[in-house]
A = this chain, B = another copy of it.
Amino acid sequence: MVKFILDPSGGIPFYRQIIDQIKFGIASGNLKTGEQLPTVRSLAVELKVNLNTIAKAYKELEILSILDTQQGSGTFINANGIVLSDEEKQGKIQDICKEFLTVAYTYGFSKEEVIAELQNNNLNNNLNNK
């Protein structure tokens, strides 16, 4: 369960703020595998935006296999390990690691520095149901 909030300043589109909050919710363990998200209508009313704005966020995450949505029943956090094959997982982890190292090196950090910081970081998804 996550409390969604929208910041109209800052120029970040509403639908992207929702995407980011869902991603962070999963990463932090506040959203668990199988958990149902608010319906597009209820969240739209709560956040005072159009339901298509919510639907757009959900849809992008569904394309990424992060959410699982069925018309009539609702939208749920996907059991991500199931839908990605081993090959896809291997490719994905390589992609995100390469991207991350590129950014890190660009800022002048070494591999050792970022690994140390990662080990020190206490963001933890241990509430996740996997």
State the A residues within 8 Å of B (CB): 23-24, 26-28, 66, 80-81, 84, 89, 92-94, 96-98, 100-109, 111, 113-115, 117-119, 121, 123, 125, 128, 130
Contacts and interface: CB of A to CB of B under 8 A. Distances in A.
**Within the oligomer, what is the number of copies of this chain?**
2
Contacts of A130: 108
A98 B94 CA distance: 18
Nearest to A97: B117
A97 B118 CA distance: 6
Nearest to A27: B105
Given A84-B107, A102-B123, 16 more contacts: A27-B101, A27-B103, A27-B105, A28-B102, A89-B108, A93-B107, A93-B113, A94-B121, A96-B103, A96-B107, A98-B123, A101-B118, A101-B123, A108-B130, A111-B121, A118-B118
